[in-house]
Structure 1
Amino acid sequence: MPIPAEHPVLTDGVVTLRGPRPDDVPGQAARHLEDPDRGYDEEDARRWITYGITEAWKTGERLAFVIEYQGRYAGTASLQPDPDGNARVHYGLSRWARGAGVASRAVRLLLEFGFGTCGFHVVHWWARVGNWPSRRVAWATGFRFGATIPRLAEESGRRVDAWTGWIGPSDPRRPRGPWFVHPVLETPRLRLRLWREDEMPRITTGRTNQATAHFLPFVPQPFTAEDARFWLKDLAEQAASGVRYNWCVADAATDLGLGNVTLFNLREGRSGELGFWLHPDAQGRGIMPEAITRLIRWYFAPEDAGGRGGHRLVIRTAATNLAARRVAEKLHFHLAGTERAAFPLGNNTHDARVTYDLLSTDQFRK
């Protein structure tokens, strides 16, 4: 289908995509001045609004719209065609308009235009690794996520890794899976929350020890700051992909990170698996049973009561991992089975693997 000669007006009744107007210049300038590292000034904004958008549309280089919300300039969204009949999506929003679903509405309008009017076959998306707002919009509008490509783009004079994604004309414009948002769970002594970047030294010392090397041989030893940085990034991406929850177990009074609890292998039948570790200086104080008890209550609570609505929890560990087994047994998990030579150890041998489970109908330690 041909690209229209002039900007159409696209709207869903809340957000409007339209051509640029001279009164959009202050909004364009203010949006980019929010990021001073980009080196974008008011003259750049004036040129783009008064000339650049229109010229790029005429040449077919970029089909850019102004996003209007509540009667104001709120950002821009565009499609950049390629020679193969596809396009790449771009979008950016003013800070004042964020958090209300404006960018997602704009992208849905843009996709409808790109597929329905322009006839594009595929719309591509990519963003610098760590650009969570952009990824959240791509997730909300139904993009499939692909590989992370090293050094795909240049930003502030350096090459950066980028997430990638794509969507086709018949794909639904809604999320393909969950994006896990971690509730903060508290007890009188503990707070289960996300780890922070400034806690990497605490993570490295907590993950570097003989027991970890023996029972979790896939964990690098020593666990370096670079390992911790990759681990934190990976956990964030797994939560965004609806794969894994991961909480830092922190002291409620000091907020010091004491250990970690992971909830993974989540299945549609409302089952999940727990993994956990404690910093050496936090052991022997009953911290992990207390943390997991709080997590169990959230996990089994109905969704309409703010819980996960789970039915079954599993703990799997080596038969000789007495510390992990004590936690499971203290919480009244049921020993469901033993598999011979199924748990690889750090000394290149295999231990038996024991499986404990707990049902929502069971009585566990309160």
Structure 2
Amino acid sequence: MTLRAPGPDDLAGAIERYLESPGGSFGAEDARRWVTYGITEAWAAGSQLVFVIEYDGRYAGSVGLKPDSMGNASVHFGLAAWAQGAGVAARAVRLVLEFGFETCGFHVIHWWAAAGNWPSRRVAWATGFRAGPTIEGLAEMAGRRTDAWTGWILPGDRREARQRWLEVPVLETSRIRLRTWRDDEIDRITTARTNQATAHFLPFIPQPFAAEDARWWLKDMAEQAAAGRRFNWCIADASTDLGLGNLTLFNLGPDGDGELGYWAHPDAQGRGIMTEAIRTVASWFFAAPADNSTAADRAPVAGSGFGGARLVIRTAATNKAARKVAESAGFRHAGTEREAFRLSTHPDDRVTYDLLASDQVASSGAMPSST
């Protein structure tokens, strides 16, 4: 891969790349002007420092820095569809960061992307950008204001990921499949989350749980995984793929600890579905990772365990249904904290259940299949 000035042979590739994004504000004629003389003029004016990305001997996209008046710059990049998935964009960004800090002397280089632009966020994550806040209405896309993710990197920062990006594995048994939720399952989520028990035991959850709440929740779960903070599974029927409930693994500690939270759709309750899901996730959580790294520093891969050491479940002492599930899944009552669980009407005692890797080895069999 090479970063270089544009040439006549880049024109066809540049037009093709911009036409891959229908509805964008940059058309074929814009691409022609930009590659023919726009990039050269931007360099001359110092307004943008743009390089063509040459990969495998052909035009693959562009990467550049836009200086500001405070001695900093923002990074922008785009890649042709045929070149994606091979780490090209991340390598190009690392090279332009080196140029920006070492040659240009920028103090801070910023990144932003419209919220939901996961490929751009993945590149920023892989190249060491610190995650900043999501800013409402920062970007304009197709004539509409939209929220944007932000980030920044300093000269002394390493050009590699600062934390894990958690890939949620698909885990299966003969009866259930644990996978991520889909956008077309909003109704299943809202129905499951709108009920009296949720209002009582989890008063911070909106009631009724509307479609807007469900969409925000799905977006938040994806961002939590990208930040290395939690896994979230839809528990689906193995035959029909119908969503039956939810299982979340969070509070992932450096010593291999994790905490589980769960809820079920009304038509899935009383069937042992949640107990089976918890046992399935526990088997994967305690299984050794394929690369022998620790749970604290690895990004899980398909077919590999997480290498965890201890799982906990915390709930209200009066939540009989949640306690029954924990006990049925083999968790042991580890302690009770008085008035530590806030209900909708009063504080309740909080009970903690735990399961150790040694417990799992003593009581379970094979690890569930994963993809």
Same-fold call, TM > 0.5?
yes
Aligned to 1:22: 8
Residue 130 (str. 1) matches residue 116 (str. 2): yes
Residue 344 (str. 1) matches residue 345 (str. 2): no
SS in 2 for 1:89: strand
Residue 236 (str. 1) matches residue 217 (str. 2): no
Give the aligned residue type for 1:335: H
C-alpha RMSD of matched pairs (Å): 0.9
Give the aligned residue type for 1:213: A
Query: Are the equivalent residues in 2 in contact too, given 1:251–1:258 (CA < 8 A)?
Result: yes
The alpha-carbon deviation at position 41 of structure 1 amounts to 2.7
Matches of 1:135 and 1:233, distance apart in 2:
14
Matches of 2:3 and 2:146, distance apart in 1:
30
**Equivalent of residue 50 in structure 2, options 64, 76, 99:** 64
The alpha-carbon deviation at position 30 of structure 1 amounts to 0.6
Task: Decide which moves more: 31-40 or 115-124.
Answer: 31-40
Aligned to 1:279: 265
> What are the Cα deviations for residues 46-80 of structure 1, in whole angstroms up to 9, with x where unaligned?
11111000000010000000001111111000000
Structure 2 residue runs without a partner (length 5+): 291-302, 366-371
Aligned to 2:298: none
Residue 221 (str. 1) matches residue 218 (str. 2): no
Give the aligned residue type for 2:103: T
Query: Are the equivalent residues in 2 in contact too, given 1:335–1:355 (CA < 8 A)?
Result: yes
Aligned residue runs from structure 1 range 189-338, under 5 A: 189-304=175-290, 306-338=304-336
Matches of 1:300 and 1:30, distance apart in 2:
48
SS in 2 for 1:361: helix
Aligned to 1:179: 165
Cα separation, partners in 2 of 1:201 and 1:280, compared to 1, 3 Å: same
Give the aligned residue type for 2:340: A
Count how many residue pairs are aligned between Structure 1 and Structure 2: 351
Higher relative contact order (CA closer than 8 Å, sequence separation 6+): 2
Matches of 2:266 and 2:131, distance apart in 1:
38
The alpha-carbon deviation at position 42 of structure 1 amounts to 2.2
SS in 2 for 1:38: coil
The alpha-carbon deviation at position 330 of structure 1 amounts to 1.1
Query: Are the equivalent residues in 1 in contact too, given 2:333–2:351 (CA < 8 A)?
Result: yes
Query: Are the equivalent residues in 2 in contact too, given 1:249–1:259 (CA < 8 A)?
Result: yes
> What are the Cα deviations for residues 208-263 of structure 1, in whole angstroms up to 9, with x where unaligned?
01111111111100000010011011111100000111000001111110000000
Query: Are the equivalent residues in 1 in contact too, given 2:25–2:142 (CA < 8 A)?
Result: no
Identical columns (%): 67
Matches of 1:358 and 1:139, distance apart in 2:
33
SS in 2 for 1:217: coil
SS in 2 for 1:103: helix
Query: Are the equivalent residues in 1 in contact too, given 2:164–2:226 (CA < 8 A)?
Result: yes
**Equivalent of residue 141 in structure 1, options 113, 122, 127:** 127
Give the aligned residue type for 2:309: H
Give the aligned residue type for 1:27: G
Residue 88 (str. 1) matches residue 74 (str. 2): yes
Aligned to 1:112: 98
Give the aligned residue type for 1:312: R
Matches of 1:40 and 1:239, distance apart in 2:
33
Give the aligned residue type for 1:177: Q
The alpha-carbon deviation at position 328 of structure 1 amounts to 1.1
SS in 1 for 2:252: strand
Give the aligned residue type for 2:208: P
Cα separation, partners in 2 of 1:326 and 1:236, compared to 1, 3 Å: same
**Equivalent of residue 163 in structure 1, options 128, 142, 149:** 149
